[in-house]
Amino acid sequence: MNANKVRRKNEGLPRVGVVILNYNGKEMAESCLRSVMESTYAGKDVILVDNASTDGSAAYLRTRFPDALVSEMSKNRGAAGGRNYGFHEDVRRSNDYILSLDNDTRVDALLIEELVAVAESDPRVGVLGPKTYADDGSGRLQCAGGRITYMENVTAEQGSGEIDRGQYDEIVDVDYIPGSGFMARREVFERLNFVDENFHGGGHEDTDFCKRAVQLGYRVVYVPSAVMWHRGSATFGGYTAQRKYWEAINSVYFVRRHGKPKDCMKYAFFAGFGLIYAFIVQSLRGNQKAVFAKARGIWHGLHKPVA
């Protein structure tokens, strides 16, 4: 196929903007960027948002990926704010779809094509997500779409930790797609005014985005033929005081914004018992500080004004 034919073929493709969020993870971001650049989908723009890293990520990645735009933040804007910076740029570029990725992900070469194919099949499809495997060599599933449970963690990722035996190989509507890897139409970002930055520090901004999309009549769809791998907690760590504090604030904020009275009561019940259980377990590990931080987060979430 000659160059003119290739150009005409590519011009007919929906444009996909890829936004990768990075903080102090240049090696992981390099792996993520390489997988995106090796994607077979031609109609893509790639933006890496560096959230004020201190490890030289921006310079390191610019030299290795000259075809990607590496935008360096002067201060860390959190997960929602960092992503929104890239989303605004993709809307400005009039891309048809925007794919959001965390730096600790790797995508299959056909992921974008598979997501776009499903999105193009139905204009009501507003948000889409892939089948995600744990990137630890286990071959186990990490997520096949998510459900809102209103239990202690508010949400649950379907298939987490399971061996993939084809039990999640159907295209289905789900409650949400995790922010580590989701795609949405440009118009959804515009109508929702992007991701809500009231969810500061990371946690449930993705669930809130999907919930609001559904309220506008869009579908949130899991696409098993689109595949990616995710390390998980690579940037924010495990059961740490900072992470648990912000997760608790955002959990309470989400429940207060979207939950019915019975949902709020359900969350209160499980969160209360969860705190007791966490205190026992984390005390044995000398990590009571994280539990106290979680309790403070719940308290502050209860007093945070709901927008």
Task: Check if the beta carbon of residue 21 is closer than 8 Å to that of residue 73.
Answer: no
Residue 34 lies in a domain: yes
Whether 267 and 187 share a structural domain: no
User: If you average pLDDT over residues 198-221, what whole number do you get?
Assistant: 95
Whether 131 and 69 share a structural domain: yes
Unique residue bearing structure tokens 């992981």: 28
What residues make up the domain containing 263? 241-303
Instruction: Give pLDDT, residue 237.
Output: 56
What is the number of domains present in the chain?
A: 2
Which of 204, 230, 256 finishes a domain? 230
Residue 235 lies in a domain: no
Which of 230, 250, 280 finishes a domain? 230
Unique residue bearing structure tokens 């044995």: 284
Task: Check if the beta carbon of residue 116 is closer than 8 Å to that of residue 16.
Answer: yes
- 285 contact partners, CB below 8 Å, separation of at least 6: none
3-state DSSP helix/strand/coil % of the chain, to nearest 5: 40, 20, 35
**Could you report the per-residue pLDDT of 125-160, keeping only the tens digit for each?**
999 999 999 999 999 999 999 999 999 999 999 999
**Could you report the per-residue pLDDT of 113-124, keeping only the tens digit for each?**
999 999 999 999
Residue 236 lies in a domain: no
**Could you report the per-residue pLDDT of 157-191, keeping only the tens digit for each?**
999 999 999 999 999 999 999 999 999 999 999 99
Closest CA to 225 of 159, 128, 138: 128
What's the CATH number where 151 sits?
3.90.550.60
- Written as six digits, the tokens of 22 are 């990075």
Whether 148 and 295 share a structural domain: no
Whether 209 and 290 share a structural domain: no
Looking at every residue in the chain, the average pLDDT score rounds to 93
Question: HSE-up of 139 (CA within 13 Å, CB side)?
Answer: 4
Which of 206, 230, 254 finishes a domain? 230
